[in-house]
Chains A and B, each alone.
Chain A
Amino acid sequence: MFDRIRRSLAHRRRTDDGASDGPDERGEDGQSDGLRADGGTVTESDSVPLATRLRRSQFLESLPFWGPPGLLVLLFVYGAIGWNFVISLTGWEGLGQPDYTELSAEAYTTLLTDASFIAAFRNTIVLLLVFTVLSLIVGLVLAILVDRKIRFENTFRTIYLLPMSLSFVVTAIFWSWMYNPRIGLINESIRGVVGVLDGVVFWTTVEAGFLTQAWLDDPRFKLAAIIFALMWQFSGYCMVVYLAGLRAIPTSQYEAARIDGASAVRLYRRVIIPQLRASTMSAAVVLMVFALKAFDFLFVLFGVNPGSSADILAVMMYRVAFDRLQWAYGSAVAMVLFAMALSVIGPYLYLQYRRGEL
């Protein structure tokens, strides 16, 4: 049977590989001697022509793929940032066009003495840290709970992540209603709980008014209220990241720890959570960047003037540039924001690169 097939295959062998028709015994020997004589070709590859090197490296082949999107990113992201930096040096204000001939770092020196910048900078840092830590903790707890082989896991996960799919505009509107001092759900709930407590433990006469506050108007609570609402929106994200991290840990480790007699708390504290460092890091980076971008949420709640207790750089930049038309100064604030983002992602990307995960 093989013979028949081989013959038919040989029959249809096309002539286009005629050049490679097997050399006969005599030719084989003669040829190889000839080639060995000009063995100089061996070292020739030290000076491979650039064209060959390029073809080998697939650089040219890959260019049509990453080139066009790369160009868009280069122009819109990196070009724009560079341009923004130049604008920040021009002192440009008002309705005219920037004058690129006289550049000075005046905007940046002004920043250092601007009380509203210092307040916004401080608030941004507080928001960044508190929001990130809080969201990570809530997300981790949720992930551990959801990972305990529960029923309807998908439903729970879907609900916890739901706020993440909503626009800041939508969530800001929900929370402005939640925080309404007279009839919002937060204060209504506090009154309800205090009422029940009063009924049960009659000797506590805590005034409900002491706990119900104008959360979004009172400078003491504004930032905390914002952080709480943002935590509500993004802790589901942390849960998803941690859950992926938990699922990557082999079950055998849980079983081994059980056999070793470790309690659940010790198991998580000693074995599991230390292995979630990578998840924590990547989630923290994303959260910090979200916090830097939290403009939309504050803008819907407070417009361009959240007040010095809740002002953040993202809002300040918009106010200065697009409300007061101090373009150069706004650009300078934007550069500070950019530098903050860079100081978060730079080390992160470097670490990813070092671990070969980029």
Chain B
Amino acid sequence: MARLELDSVTKRFGEGDGSVLAVDDVNVDIADGEFLVLVGPSGCGKSTTLRMVAGLESITDGEIRLDDQRINDQAPAERDIAMVFQSYALYPHMTVRENMRFGLEESTDLPADERNARVEETAGMLDITELLDRKPGALSGGQRQRVALGRAIVREPKAFLMDEPLSNLDAKLRSQMRTELQQLQEDLDTTTVYVTHDQTEAMTMGDRIAILDAGELQQVATPLEAYHRPANRFVGSFIGEPSMNFVDCGVDDGALLGEFEVPVDGPDESRIGLTADDEDDRQLETVEFRYPLGADVRDAVAGSAEAALGIRPEDVLIEPVTADDESDAAAAGASPLGDAAADHVFGGIVTVVEPMGDENVVHVTLDDGPELVATVNGLRRIDSGTRVRVGLPADAIHVFDGDTGEAVHSRSLDDAELDERRV
């Protein structure tokens, strides 16, 4: 039952010239009962941030408050926080029961029978009652994971901290535990900070996610907001799988204009399967990729000299060019390209198709240079080498400033979709 605030939290390892800034001025306000996921690539400072909250690392600068109380200088034990570690960190010489009871013995003065009752109850909740008298060495990975959770839950702390708790499980167990953990957190309603490098976990588990990169907080938002309105190019590329497509362009007269070098004989079938050496021998020519912008976006990019066009793979529309409509390209009315305006449709060729079952991940190279990834329905059959028309609808594009990477325009979306609570 607690609100957790990180106020300009900074961590610097070492001193002087050799010091490393691991966490740089992070501000997050986590509401009581909220499930916040801290996500970012490895080395981005997310674990360090969590360890500062736990009291395992000192805080170089800034303040961490738990229920409006500054806890910077409190020892870990005084903070009433429980943590689930990546390695589970179970005590190997103690039974599951003793493992779960240890924290109660050391941090509370509950009478023995009450401690035991709490352990039993928590074990029941996690369905590990029959494991209580076993030692960690005799448990499977999934069972150890539950015990580690139980050890945190039994203490009824103000907040849970979880440091990649699912990363040692196999894929199937991981997705199962993901659901279960979410359910559990909702039931317990305890403030939780969950660290992961896995953007799927971040998207599916958190009430909100905080994305960190190189020690700096990039965005704090609900998963959908982070997905559809990434604050910057990093967030756009980190959240979502396959990653968002980016085309680096200049801003030119109401349009995004990119220059690309492509082989003279075009990106045709003969190119597939060539080695890098072969590529080097090919004659190159410069082509232009031009993407006209609508009035509102034009204003947004007015201040930028360079900009990156961003578009999610599922928004890249693809339609094969068949022999008969090659001559009659205007027949785009009811095609998968939908309402993409004609100047937002580009010719290209499919280079690789990765069938995933439910969808196909299609890599296309546009005649104008950019290489894009698109996802299409798994039942649609598309072969590599197919010539396609590629639609990049104006309402689906993001535009990021070329220098700062900040988003200057996000895709159009009915705002109601974002505000809707996830179920």
- Report if B37 contacts A (CB, 8 A): no
Closest chain B residue to A19, Cβ basis: B67
Of the candidates A2, A6, A12, A55, the one whose C-beta lies within 8 Å of that of B114 is: A12
Of the candidates B60, B66, B125, the one whose C-beta lies within 8 Å of that of A5 is: B125
CB-based contact B80/A32 at 8 Å = no
Shortest CB–CB separation between residue B331 and chain A, in angstroms?
57
Interface of A is mostly: helix
CB-based contact A23/B3 at 8 Å = yes
CB-based contact A17/B158 at 8 Å = yes
CB-based contact A9/B66 at 8 Å = no
Chain B contacts for A42, CB-based, 8 A: 7-8, 61-63
Chain B contacts for A5, CB-based, 8 A: 121, 124-125
- Report if B75 contacts A (CB, 8 A): yes
Could you mark each residue 15-27 of chain A with 1 if its beta carbon is under 8 Å from any beta carbon of chain B, else 0?
Answer: 0110111110000
Shortest CB–CB separation between residue B229 and chain A, in angstroms?
25
Chain B contacts for A45, CB-based, 8 A: 59-62, 72
* Given A9-B156, A22-B3, residue A2 in contact with residue B32 (CB < 8 A): no
Of the candidates A12, A22, A36, the one whose C-beta lies within 8 Å of that of B2 is: A22
Of the candidates B32, B125, B189, the one whose C-beta lies within 8 Å of that of A23 is: B32
Cα separation A45 to B72 with both chains bound (whole Å): 9
Chain B contacts for A46, CB-based, 8 A: 61
- Report if A148 contacts B (CB, 8 A): no
Chain B contacts for A56, CB-based, 8 A: 58, 73
Cα separation A6 to B185 with both chains bound (whole Å): 11
Cα separation A36 to B63 with both chains bound (whole Å): 11
Closest chain A residue to B184, Cβ basis: A2
Cα separation A28 to B1 with both chains bound (whole Å): 13
- Report if A13 contacts B (CB, 8 A): yes
Chain B contacts for A41, CB-based, 8 A: 63, 70
- Report if A109 contacts B (CB, 8 A): no
Cα separation A19 to B80 with both chains bound (whole Å): 12
CB-based contact A21/B1 at 8 Å = yes
CB-based contact B156/A20 at 8 Å = no
Chain A contacts for B73, CB-based, 8 A: 48, 52, 56
CB-based contact B188/A32 at 8 Å = no
Closest chain A residue to B154, Cβ basis: A9
Cα separation A115 to B61 with both chains bound (whole Å): 67
Closest chain B residue to A51, Cβ basis: B73
Shortest CB–CB separation between residue B286 and chain A, in angstroms?
47
Chain B contacts for A23, CB-based, 8 A: 3, 32, 67-68
Chain A contacts for B19, CB-based, 8 A: none
CB-based contact B121/A8 at 8 Å = yes
- Report if B178 contacts A (CB, 8 A): no
Chain B contacts for A16, CB-based, 8 A: 108
Chain A contacts for B61, CB-based, 8 A: 42-43, 45-46
Shortest CB–CB separation between residue B59 and chain A, in angstroms?
7
- Report if A189 contacts B (CB, 8 A): no
Of the candidates B2, B5, B59, the one whose C-beta lies within 8 Å of that of A20 is: B2
Cα separation A52 to B59 with both chains bound (whole Å): 12
- Report if B65 contacts A (CB, 8 A): yes
Select the residue from B1, B75, B114, B183 with max chain A CB neighbours within 10 A: B1
Chain B contacts for A52, CB-based, 8 A: 73
Shortest CB–CB separation between residue A217 and chain B, in angstroms?
59
Shortest CB–CB separation between residue B42 and chain A, in angstroms?
21
* Given A2-B125, A6-B187, A45-B61, residue A12 in contact with residue B118 (CB < 8 A): yes
Chain B contacts for A35, CB-based, 8 A: 5, 7, 65, 68
Shortest CB–CB separation between residue B150 and chain A, in angstroms?
12
- Report if B29 contacts A (CB, 8 A): yes
CB-based contact B2/A2 at 8 Å = no
Chain B contacts for A205, CB-based, 8 A: none
Chain A contacts for B3, CB-based, 8 A: 22-23, 28
CB interface residues, A 30-85, toward B, < 8 Å? 31-32, 35-36, 39, 41-43, 45-46, 48, 52, 55-56
Cα separation A22 to B68 with both chains bound (whole Å): 10
Cα separation A22 to B34 with both chains bound (whole Å): 12
CB interface residues, B 189-208, toward A, < 8 Å? 189
Chain A contacts for B108, CB-based, 8 A: 14, 16
Chain A contacts for B156, CB-based, 8 A: 9, 13
Shortest CB–CB separation between residue B159 and chain A, in angstroms?
10
* Given A22-B1, A23-B68, A42-B61, residue A2 in contact with residue B187 (CB < 8 A): yes
CB-based contact A17/B80 at 8 Å = yes
CB-based contact A20/B62 at 8 Å = no
Shortest CB–CB separation between residue A38 and chain B, in angstroms?
10
- Could you show 23 A-B contacts with beta carbons less than 8 Å apart? A2-B125, A2-B183, A2-B187, A5-B125, A9-B118, A9-B156, A20-B69, A20-B80, A21-B1, A23-B3, A28-B32, A31-B68, A32-B29, A32-B68, A36-B7, A39-B8, A42-B63, A43-B61, A45-B61, A45-B62, A48-B73, A55-B75, A56-B73
Given contacts A14-B110, A20-B158, A23-B3, 16 further A-B contacts (CB under 8 A): A2-B125, A6-B187, A8-B121, A9-B118, A20-B66, A20-B69, A22-B2, A22-B32, A22-B67, A28-B32, A42-B7, A42-B8, A43-B61, A45-B61, A46-B61, A56-B58
Nearest 4 interchain pairs by C-beta: A22-B1, A2-B187, A22-B32, A20-B67
